[in-house]
Structure 1
């Protein structure tokens, strides 16, 4: 690994949200300047709620402090093979926490959910979702990996992220962009997920991780050889300073890794 990842820690989620907003809007600006669209992949868990706190806050009126959702392309870093209105659906979670609450003046993003037609065939669902990504990024044979402008991820207590789990064979996949998993250690068992190379290839990668229940795995990820082999640790190693962690203080209690100040 070259430069290490960035670790930002805040007293509370309320204090974290403004810096996460600044970070996301900085990436939005860079993406608009580069190709006039903002291609984002998001996970589920507590992330959509925190993201809504960050992005739906009133603008402070300064240049660059406004979200233009009309140019956003939102994909799912992973998704459960359930109907879109199911309680386990990451799409449902994002829709309820963020998408349904976007004011009209901010515009509406283009969102890419899974196709419910393939709920009974998890591999076909992964293949179809990869085709969606191809349609936005480029022809599959002309681009080795899609380059998301930003991936917004969570970290599980076991160090998993997306639906990439510790010691799982999917971590060794190098070619496919979207993978299927039928034996997830965390229910529901059938899911699709971006591959590790796709995540690491992202222009910027942000983890949003809060709560005292994460301090043990955070200590492991940032301080131990074992932790560097966990999915989140592998992304730290592969992404280096492209990776930023936004945490509250309780999630990094006892973690001896240098913290950065606010982005505000």
Structure 2
């Protein structure tokens, strides 16, 4: 059963199970796409890694398979590992296996991020692709960033309050002019590309998926505990002229009470 909670800054949708969350997310993505296509001739969706590709597999089933206007969908990546497309760590490959190969999206509308070229060259190449495909713009989220306006950006919440590949206190959180940035995080083997905060916050819609007990504290802190700037990237997701919706299952909500308090704030 889905329950909703609305705040001044975001809507939070609670689900009893991860499976119900996936079903609710599919309905939501479908609804956002239909709304976008009533206004223009395309729908632009930026995906994260994690479990987002698998959850989108719900859209490959009825009724979505027949009712979605797939010819007008354009897929992008909020984050991507800099690996070959056929590498198991490629978010593109994961999305292809669970979702893209099962729906009639036009191959030319699946916009790849840099897969083998490292560093700034990969970021610049992906930014160029976005400029060619996303013509809609919004009021800049920062004075130096004339940002694209994605119709929807899908993110996942990590245990450290990271979203996309934006990690706490990472220098890329201060990036104000680039649309795409390379990210190297201590302890991780691979470099990634990530959309920057101004681009994410310029989207018409942003959804963050919080699933599992390992993100319960990060979710609570994102909801009610104002953290020092940069220590909780999830709290920095604030669309400037759009909507933010959280999708939260029972595990992620296990420390969260309806009154907005952290149920186990004193625990480590």
Pick the TM interval, shorter chain: 0.7 to 0.9
Classify the secondary structure of the residue corresponding to 1:180: strand
Counterpart in the other structure of 2:152 = 150
Q: Which runs of 5+ in 1 are unaligned?
A: 260-264
Who is 2:13 aligned against? Answer: 8
Decide which of 99, 115, 121 is 2:118's aligned counterpart.
Answer: 121
Q: Which residue of the partner structure matches residue 162 of structure 2?
A: 160
Distance 1:60 1:254, change over 3 A: same
Which runs of 5 or more structure 2 residues have no equivalent in the other structure? 1-6, 141-145, 261-268
Instruction: State how far apart, in whole Å, the 2-side matches of 1:60 and 1:133 are.
Output: 26
Distance 1:134 1:58, change over 3 A: same
Q: Give deviations 1:191-247, integer Å, cap 9, x for gaps.
A: 111010000110000112211111111111112122774111110x45597110111
Once the two structures are overlaid, the 10-residue window that deviates more, 163-172 or 183-192, is: 183-192
CA RMSD of aligned residues (A): 2.6
Match of 1:223 in 2: 224
C-alpha deviations, 1:111-145, integer Å up to 9, x for none? 111344xx2432101000000000012399x9811
How does the TM-score come out when normalised to structure 2? Answer: 0.83
Choose between structure 1 and 2: higher helix proportion.
Answer: 1
Counting matched residue pairs gives 246
C-alpha separation between the residues in 2 aligned to 1:169 and 1:135? 27
Deviation at 1:44, TM superposition (A): 0.7
The structure showing larger relative contact order (alpha-carbon pairs under 8 Å, at least 6 residues apart) is 1
**What pairs with 1:79-98 in structure 2 (closer than 5 Å)?**
79-98=80-99
Bigger mean CA deviation after superposition, 205-214 or 193-202:
205-214
Normalising by structure 1, what TM-score? 0.85
